[in-house]
């Protein structure tokens, strides 16, 4: 859990999280997460900061210590040590429906300015199942994922008319990790 907790703070450097939120975001158990937060506080990667919980009550929270001297190298290291491969990501996403195309960009390629991090094109894609899968991926990455999902007919139409969302994905840094529609990049 330590890596997931570190990633949460390193990739959300201005956010303050209470214990309950950290537990939810990294999909862990409170005692384990509390122990990880205490050890990260001891090495001064995070520091305590009062915040408000979901109900608006003041609670103890944690925030990234901006004066920690190794933030940059830690972020670089955690980006390079991906929690899963592209093949594993496609396999996870396959549980949501019949995939036709998966394109990654944004956080997957260390580009924080991208409009979308992942585009999923498929048929009979169950959006609620896809959302659950992406929540798990977010927990592994320590970041929120911006995604777009389309059926293959909608995607082909949007591609043919030069839709802005589709252009924003393909005109910038991206990687096609699954392609069953014969799209030539």
Each residue's pLDDT tens digit, 131-162 = 999 998 888 887 889 999 999 999 999 999 99
Q: What is the pLDDT of residue 112?
A: 75
> Quick check: 61 pLDDT over 80?
yes
Which pTM value belongs to this model?
0.71
Q: How far apart are CA 125 and CA 175, in angstroms?
A: 21
Each residue's pLDDT tens digit, 5-34 = 998 898 888 899 999 999 988 888 999 999
Range 5-26 burial, b when 16+ CB lie within 10 A, else e = bbbbbbbbeeebbbbebbbebb
Beta bridge partners of 26: none
Q: Show Cβ contacts of residue 38 under 8 Å, excluding neighbours closer than 6 positions.
A: none
CA-CA-CA-CA dihedral for 16, 140, 36, 22, to nearest 10: 30
Q: What is the pLDDT of residue 53?
A: 78
Q: Show Cβ contacts of residue 114 under 8 Å, excluding neighbours closer than 6 positions.
A: 105, 106, 107, 146, 168, 169, 172, 173
């Amino acid at each position: 859990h330590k890596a997931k907790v570190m990633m949460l703070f390193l990739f959300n450097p201005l956010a303050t999280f209470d214990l309950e939120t950290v537990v939810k975001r990294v999909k862990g158990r409170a005692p384990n997460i509390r122990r990880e937060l205490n050890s990260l506080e001891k090495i001064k990667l995070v520091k305590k900061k009062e915040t408000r919980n979901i109900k608006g009550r003041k609670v103890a929270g944690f925030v990234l210590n901006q004066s920690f001297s190794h933030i940059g190298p830690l972020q670089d290291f955690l980006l390079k040590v991906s929690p899963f491969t592209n093949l594993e990501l496609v396999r996870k996403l396959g549980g949501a429906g019949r995939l036709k195309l998966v394109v990654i960009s944004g956080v997957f390629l260390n580009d924080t300015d991208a409009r979308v991090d992942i585009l999923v094109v498929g048929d009979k894609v169950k959006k609620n199942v896809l959302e659950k899968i992406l929540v798990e991926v977010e927990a592994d990455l320590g970041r929120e994922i911006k995604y777009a999902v389309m059926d293959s007919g909608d995607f082909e139409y949007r591609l043919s008319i030069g839709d802005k969302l589709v252009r924003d994905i393909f005109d910038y840094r991206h990687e096609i990790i699954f392609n069953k529609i014969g799209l030539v990049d």
